């Protein structure tokens, strides 16, 4: 019900914008979030935005990444600036009621992910 796109291979310092589109049902949820999973690592919270508040960011991306949602287009974006090699991961978008935005278990809908590779 969600599909992320916009990943790619870039050099450190570059920018990428990820997009996530999906069904109206998925986007009717309060919270939209982005997570990422690097090889051999657990999935980690990146950013989230809710109807009522937000945005929220992981400390590692604060000041470099921006999340935004366009409810009319059922789309959520993740603008990623000043990318670093440690940002390399598969990025997933998620939707859910998310009373707590950080845990992945708070989200009911997940996209298939888009791969981001940042070379040094």
Exposure letters 43-79 (e unless 16+ CB within 10 A, then b): bebbbbbbeeebbbbbeebeeebbbebeeeebbbbbe
Measure the CA–CA gap between 83 and 11, rounded to whole angstroms. 8
> pLDDT digits over 24-54, tens only?
888 887 899 999 999 999 999 999 999 888 8
The pLDDT of residue 24:
86
> pLDDT digits over 49-93, tens only?
998 888 999 999 999 999 999 988 999 999 999 999 999 999 999
Closest CA to 80 of 25, 34, 32: 34
The pLDDT of residue 49:
94
The pLDDT of residue 76:
95
């Amino acid at each position: 019900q969600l599909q992320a796109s916009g990943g790619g291979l870039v050099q450190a310092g570059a920018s990428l914008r990820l997009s996530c589109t999906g069904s109206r049902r998925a986007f009717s949820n309060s919270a939209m979030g982005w997570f990422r999973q690097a090889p051999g690592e657990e999935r980690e919270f990146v950013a989230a935005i809710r109807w009522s508040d937000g945005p929220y960011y992981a400390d590692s991306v604060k000041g470099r990444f921006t999340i935004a949602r366009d409810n009319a287009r059922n789309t959520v974006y993740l603008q990623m600036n000043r990318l670093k090699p440690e940002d390399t991961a598969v990025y997933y978008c998620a939707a859910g009621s998310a009373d707590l935005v950080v845990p992945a278990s708070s989200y009911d809908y997940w996209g298939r992910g888009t791969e981001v590779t940042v070379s040094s």
